[in-house]
Chains A and B, each alone.
Chain A
Amino acid sequence: MIKRRVLTAMLAVFASASFLGRAYAQSDNYPSRPVKLIVPYAAGGGTDAIARLVANGVGEKLGQSMVVENNGTAGGNVASQLAAKADPDGYTVLMANQGPMVVNPHLFESMKLDPLTAFDPVTLIARSPLVVVVSKNSPYKSFSDLMAFGKANPGKLTYGSAGNGSASHLATEMLLKMAGIQAVHVPYKGAGPALNDMLGGRGDFMITTAPSVLGLIDSGDMVPLAVTTKERVKRFNAPSVAESGYPDYVSAAWYGFVVPKGTPAAINEKLRKATIEAMGSKEIKDRLEAEGTTLVGDSPAEFASMMKAESERWKGFLATAGISIK
């Protein structure tokens, strides 16, 4: 209670302070001060790394720095709420991800906000696969090996995840459901400790984000069996799950910018242009592609319809799978 009251007070102070700034929030001199990028994950994580890389480039193009602020509380929901309540003047941008934007509303019973109506999309920046990995000593040499064993032996497979309700967990559950496989879920706190047990042969497989396992794949300690994007990814020598018998399966991590609802279209467009220009720079392109990430840069309408479709898909899946967080 106390927390909420203080939060409200703080927001009130912020609101009145930025009210003064609003007069300057015209598109022709935007941005006249630094732009804040709210990242709904803690500093040091995979999303944070991408956010900082892109923010650096966008800041250069805008001629004002783009400052990253992290808030990973409650699965990123606190960050969404903060961003939604900010002034729609283009000086607050939210890093939009699968979890907070399209999964959490159907996962958290206590979610107070609908991210699809609270924000205006700017652009989808990039899409990155999750990777189905096994240890190099695993008996499963291909994705179909793994699936065949799982189907023949219900309840025998064990998989690790980065946590209950994480992208890693949900991507696996969706696959298991489509394939009709029963497997035991062992949640960890983060991908690192989970990979350690998979590496030691105590779990059978794991679906995890590309950056978390890249080093182990390059050294040959973990073997990628499939990627979760619709198409194959050049970086990994593996088929996509979709082409391996589950054409409807897709579960990519994605990163985009959204701004609070009501941000002037001209400012939104200016931000979008700067972002796409920044994405074209060699530094950002090379770095992201080295992680198996595909750069996108679409229009607000395309980004909006993508999120809407994704939200529907996760809503249906989470309801039938009965996964929720109270």
Chain B
Amino acid sequence: MMDFVSNLGFGFAVALTLKNIGLCFIGCIVGTLVGILPGVGPIATIAMLLPITFGLDPVGALIMLAGIYYGAQYGGSTTAILVNIPGEATAVVTTLDGHQMAKQGRAGVALGIAAIGSFVAGTFATLTIAALAKPLTGLALVFGPSEYFALMLMGLVLAVVLAHGSVLKAIAMILVGILLSTVGVDIETGQDRMTLGLDFLYDGIDFAVLAMGVFGIAEILRNLDNVETRDVVRQTIGRLLPGKEDFKQSAMPIARGTIIGSILGILPGNGAVLAPFASYSLEKKLAKNPSRFGKGAIEGVAGPESANNSGAQTSFIPLLTLGIPPNAVMALMVGAMTIHGIVPGPLVMTNTPDLFWGMIASMWVGNLMLLIINLPMIGMWVRLLKVPYQLMFPAILMFCCIGIFSINSEPVQVIVIAVFGLVGYSISKLGFEPAPLLLGFVLGRLMEENFRRALLMSRGDMMTFIASPISATLLLIAVVVLVVSFMPSLRKSRDEVFTE
């Protein structure tokens, strides 16, 4: 305990130097901006800024890059709530109830609770990393391909709950999502699949392209279609910050989301993607009246946003304790360490304690800064909704195009978002929802890779999935959820969850 306090104290001494506070601030601002701009993600930004950090000392450089990463998580929810565009996989669920809240004139409340929930989650996750990083590393190591497969499968089954319409349609969307995720070169054999001979499909479909199409562009088309609903968005501006009642409703979802996110974030195979989805499903299951979900339930914003942010923070654990990056952003952080001559690995904590503890302390400082930056901005964002839609939608379109182009400088990707926009518009006209499709897309790729790896390792023996207690338990949960939702005697309870 004394160690814990003195270590954190040492960390704050490093993080609170004027220079490091400044770098943390720059990182948070840049992160918020790239999070808000659709398409420009933290990966592209950090890759671009990597050379600039060459002249900084390693601690300052990493503090700034980390700030960009979690700043983008904050910024991403702003776009999801205001214009229904999830910039990152983790913001998909926020669109479900967040954007509905905005339509009801509660954009300020949604943004406020997202920022506050994220701050609470960030604080908890920072303390978790400081206290338990080392022992939690063990958890990362027991998760192998079969466990991941089981986790992802469970995630997909829970995803059915995301839909608030027909179950069958939700399953259909999930399957289409999985199918889309298999486009591109096969990781095992090098064979290209469903690329239609097109070069740009060789590396698969980019998440941002798909999300921006089926959410963002489709939403614009729907709004242009329907003058009534879009005027609601801009005419009714309610209170700017969450009130007492909102806090009461959000407290438990924030707490649960924080814990779910913290656990999933530790997993080295990018388990953090699942966190907001899991939190949303849980809140909908626990709610007295699940039918409110999808129509602007504040719990549906508070829980997933907290889960998202705590997951983003704890995903630093495998990086800091093993030197193993759990996702593409962390891989760039490894690059930043290498450039500065630091060998990422278990010895970072002992060899460069200033880096280790300084970074952890700076995460909390950064979260506080983001709260301070974001709360006063809410008024401005909400006022932005008052801009007449005929001015607003060309601007959104333009930012989408710039964002997509900036990922790979590929003009053809801009055309692809238009195609996915039409797809998204048609499926919503037919009563399908895009969220299960995106979830299927995100989880499908991870699921396939891990399924095949597990079978390679077991030499084709399917028993591998129930041989490990973790994967057996996860699969059992998936089966139970499926059975519960299809058994006639339990139909009543299922209907409660699914019907509007």
Contacts and interface: CB of A to CB of B under 8 A. Distances in A.
Nearest to B44: A43
A163 to B, nearest CB: 7
B295 to A, nearest CB: 39
Interface string A150-188: 000001001000011100000000000000000011111
12 contacts: A3-B410, A52-B54, A74-B202, A187-B188, A196-B140, A196-B269, A196-B322, A199-B322, A199-B324, A215-B345, A215-B346, A290-B343
Given A44-B46, A164-B187, A290-B343, 7 more contacts: A3-B412, A52-B54, A73-B408, A190-B325, A196-B269, A199-B324, A200-B141
Contacts of B188: 164, 187
Interface in A1-19: 2-4, 6
A184 B459 contact: yes
A6 B410 CA distance: 9
A164 B188 CA distance: 6
A28 B344 CA distance: 43
B341 A193 contact: no
Interface residues of A, number: 51
A73 B410 CA distance: 12
A282 to B, nearest CB: 13
B268 A196 contact: yes
B463 interface: no
B318 A158 contact: no
Contacts of A6: 411
Given A184-B459, A193-B269, A2 B344 contact: no
Contacts of A203: 457
B16 interface: no
B177 interface: no
Interface string B231-274: 00000000000000000000000000000000000001100000
B335 A195 contact: no
Interface stretch (A216-224, A237-245, A260-268): A216-224
Given A184-B456, A195-B324, A196-B318, A163 B187 contact: yes
B336 interface: yes
A202 B457 contact: yes
Contact of B339 (A53, A195, A324, A326): A53
A324 B191 CA distance: 9
Nearest to A220: B346
Chain B's interface size range is 35 or more
A148 interface: no
| Shortest Cβ-Cβ A-B pairs, 5 listed | A215-B345, A44-B335, A219-B346, A215-B323, A325-B190
Contacts of A22: none
B345 A219 contact: yes
A211 interface: yes
Which of B142, B190, B322 has most chain A Cβ within 10 Å? B190
Nearest to A53: B339
Nearest to A74: B202
A68 interface: yes
Contact of A196 (B51, B141, B347, B411): B141
Nearest to B445: A189
B22 interface: no
Interface in B7-22: none
B50 interface: yes
A163 B188 CA distance: 8
B324 A196 contact: yes
B332 A43 contact: yes
Contacts of B331: 44-45, 190, 192
Contacts of B185: 325
B47 A70 contact: yes
Interface of B: 46-48, 50-51, 54, 140-145, 185, 187-192, 199-200, 202-203, 268-269, 318, 322-325, 331-332, 334-336, 338-339, 341, 343-348, 408, 410-412, 415, 449, 453, 456-457, 459
Given A44-B50, A215-B346, A192 B187 contact: no
A165 B335 contact: no
Contacts, number: 130
A291 B202 CA distance: 33
Contacts of A326: 190-192
A74 B323 CA distance: 26
Given A52-B339, A219-B345, A199 B332 contact: no
Contacts of B268: 192-193, 196
A56 interface: yes
Contacts of B51: 43, 52, 68
Nearest to B413: A3
Contacts of A44: 46-47, 50, 331-332, 334-336
B453 to A, nearest CB: 5
B450 to A, nearest CB: 10
A45 B145 CA distance: 24
Given A2-B411, A56-B54, A184-B459, A219 B338 contact: no
B462 to A, nearest CB: 16
A42 B199 CA distance: 18
B325 to A, nearest CB: 5
A3 B346 CA distance: 44
A43 B324 contact: no
A158 B459 CA distance: 10
Nearest to A290: B341
A164 B459 contact: no
A274 interface: no
Given A158-B457, A221-B346, A216 B47 contact: no
Contacts of B415: 2
A164 B190 contact: yes
B457 A218 contact: no
B457 to A, nearest CB: 6
Interface string A262-300: 000000000000000000000000010010000000000
A7 to B, nearest CB: 10
Contact of A199 (B50, B141, B325): B141
A179 B412 CA distance: 47
Contact of B345 (A4, A163, A214): A214
A46 interface: yes
A310 interface: no
Contact of B199 (A3, A184, A190, A192): A3
Contact of A216 (B145, B335, B346): B346
Nearest to A218: B347
- Name which of B185, B324, B346 has the most chain A CB atoms within 10 A of its CB: B324
A49 interface: yes
Nearest to B140: A196
A167 to B, nearest CB: 15
A48 interface: yes
B457 A186 contact: yes
Contacts of A196: 140-141, 268-269, 318, 322, 324
Contacts of B325: 190, 192
A197 interface: yes
B451 to A, nearest CB: 12
A325 to B, nearest CB: 4
